[in-house]
Amino acid sequence: MAIAPRHARSWLFTPADRPDRYPRRDRPGADAVVLDLEDAVAPGRKALARHHLTRPGAVDAPVWVRINDRTSEHWRDDLEAVAGLPALDGVMLPKAEHAEHVASTAALLPAGTPVLALVETSLGMENAFAIARERATFALAFGVADFRRETGLGDAPEAWAYCRTRLVIASRAAGLRGPVDGPAMQLDDIAAVRAEAYASRAGGFTGKLCIHPAQTAVVNAAYSPAPEHIAWARRVLEKAAHSEGAAVRVDGEMIDRPRLDHARDLLEFAAALDG
């Protein structure tokens, strides 16, 4: 079942120079597949990757494409290659540091093509709200590996609290979905991936980049409404249906307008995931 990009939880990177790994309509998996022309492809194979990507029939399922960044010599060639893809859901722009990076990228794509802006630097973080407000920006994503390398942040959660919260607030203030978190780097420790994903969701993120297919199932579960939360939302709406707009008591909790709206959001999201 296809999940609309606005609800996508798992975003799986796939090297664009490996057409044998391209998604197919008969192979369910991640909510969104990102064919990668950037970090997953060696400099000497960029042209080959673009060739594979643009072969007729190479892509028969909707995909996103991560192009090279705005300052790269490959940026324009990447955009020329992806602009004609018939199954293009959108473009991921790495190292987005200014709103203009998104605007100039969108200008070379078919009108209305969404851009997922990957914030990976301290300058991009400081400009997060401006980037989020750019008309072509679909959502923000967090490039944790490059951000860690530049800033030198360690593993303590408090070291990451400011930047994570900044991306969440910038996204919501601009009217976007919550940001997409960076990938967990553990390939063989699914429990660690699960813990990271649940912590990320609790921090306001709505999805997560994945670097291996084995990560997608636990990521999807982490960002999905739990059955008990769906049951709670249904009880709330049942009570509210007879309250004539007044606050109601459900499970010992006062449910006012914000909590009622939250219950509706939960059920809407659950319905979208169920098709």
What pLDDT digit, counting tens, does each position of 201-236 carry?
999 999 999 999 999 999 999 999 999 999 999 999
Report long-range pairs for 193-196 (Cβ below 8 Å, ≥24 apart).
193/218, 193/219, 194/218, 194/221, 194/222
Q: Both 84 and 16 in a single domain? A: yes
Give the residue from 108, 96, 109, 100 showing the smallest Cα distance to 139: 96
Q: Are residues 41 and 108 in the same domain?
A: yes
> Same domain for 104 and 117?
yes
User: How many C-alpha atoms does 123 have within 13 Å on its Cβ side?
Assistant: 7
Provide the pLDDT confidence category of residue 42 given band limits of 50, 70 and 90: very high
- Distance, in Å, from the CA atom of 202 to the CA atom of 199, rounded to the nearest integer, reads 5
Q: Which domain holds residue 269?
A: 227-273
Q: Are 263 and 256 in contact (CB under 8 A)?
A: no
CA 132 – CA 150 distance, rounded (Å): 22
Check whether residue 73 and residue 185 sit in a common domain: yes
Q: Domain containing 188 — which CATH number?
A: 3.20.20.60
Residues 122 and 251 in one domain: no
User: Does 209 share its domain with 250?
Assistant: no
Q: How far apart are CA 46 and CA 66, in angstroms?
A: 12
For strand 253-255 and strand 248-250, is the pairing parallel, antiparallel, or unpaired? antiparallel
Residue 1 has pLDDT above 70, yes or no: no
* pTM greater than 0.85: yes
61 and 181 inside one domain: yes
